[in-house]
Amino acid sequence: MIRAIAFDFDGVLVESVDVKTRAYAHLFKEYGQDVVSKVVGYHMKNGGISRFVKLRTIYEKILKKPLSEKKFELLSEQFSNIVVDAVVAAPWVEGAQEFLQKNKNRYLYFIVSGTPQEELELIVQRRQMEQYFCAVLGSPKNKVDLFREVLPRLNLTPEETVFVGDAETDWNAAKTIGLAFLWRCVSGEVRLLNGYAGPKMTTLSSLEENLKILKKQIIL
């Protein structure tokens, strides 16, 4: 029996992935286009990972220079200043709000995201989305740890929970915890999730139908 649905945020509930991509490009534009291309490429290949990890990795692997704690905090603040208003203004993923509203008395909803906790809560509040979610969880904890923390708190088992995500990180977290997983991918996207054989949802308009399919599989 499916009792709860966990959602990633960027690219699953809200069309905000491009906002974050542009923010990374802006932060590192002083290093030239070659570096910007590498930074953006790394970001796009590692969706769902917190900027706490990404910024440190960019300095270590791409810039190959040390990152002081003071500089890290400055970059994090600059990133947040760039993205918050734009994410608040970003459109819903097609079908997401309609699904949440229609099924709010049928499932528990909660968010598990790589966005920093305080920033995520602010965005959810400013978008007036808090009415839908019983929990809003963000970084610095990774998604596996967030699930391990929230499921017992909500009196849920992995078998009762579906995770809707858009990145390899989401899929890996679902496998680690033992959650059913549904993939929201952008129309025309050619990448694959390693080992994922479920449906590809280009919008969340098909989420309700895919949940029905999952329920039948669980019964079988």
- Check which CATH number belongs to the domain holding 51 and give it: 1.10.150
Report the candidate in 177, 49, 171, 170 with the shortest Cα–Cα distance to residue 115.
49
**Nearest-angstrom CA–CA distance, 165 and 113:** 9
Do residue 203 and residue 179 come from a single domain?
Answer: yes
Residue after which a domain boundary falls, among 38, 62, 89: 89
Do residue 73 and residue 103 come from a single domain?
Answer: no
Would you write out the chain's pLDDT as a tens digit for each of its 220 residues? 899 999 999 999 999 989 999 999 999 999 999 999 999 999 988 877 888 899 999 999 999 999 999 999 999 999 999 999 999 999 999 999 999 999 999 999 999 999 999 999 999 999 999 999 999 999 999 999 999 999 999 999 999 999 999 988 999 999 999 999 999 987 666 567 788 888 889 999 999 999 988 887 765 4
Do residue 48 and residue 103 come from a single domain?
Answer: no
- Check which CATH number belongs to the domain holding 170 and give it: 3.40.50.1000
- Residue 8's pLDDT is what? 97
Residue after which a domain boundary falls, among 51, 70, 89: 89
Do residue 199 and residue 183 come from a single domain?
Answer: yes
**Nearest-angstrom CA–CA distance, 206 and 200:** 9
What is residue 138's DSSP assignment? E
Domain that holds residue 27: 17-89
- Count how many domains the chain has: 2
Report the candidate in 192, 187, 182, 189 with the shortest Cα–Cα distance to residue 213.
182
Longest CA span, the chain: 56
Do residue 31 and residue 127 come from a single domain?
Answer: no
The 10 Å Cβ neighbour count of residue 6 is 32
**Nearest-angstrom CA–CA distance, 63 and 32:** 11
168 neighbors 60 (Cβ within 8 angstroms): no
183 neighbors 171 (Cβ within 8 angstroms): yes
For strands 161-165 and 4-7, give the pairing.
parallel
Full-model pTM: 0.89
Do residue 73 and residue 169 come from a single domain?
Answer: no
- Residue 220's pLDDT is what? 44
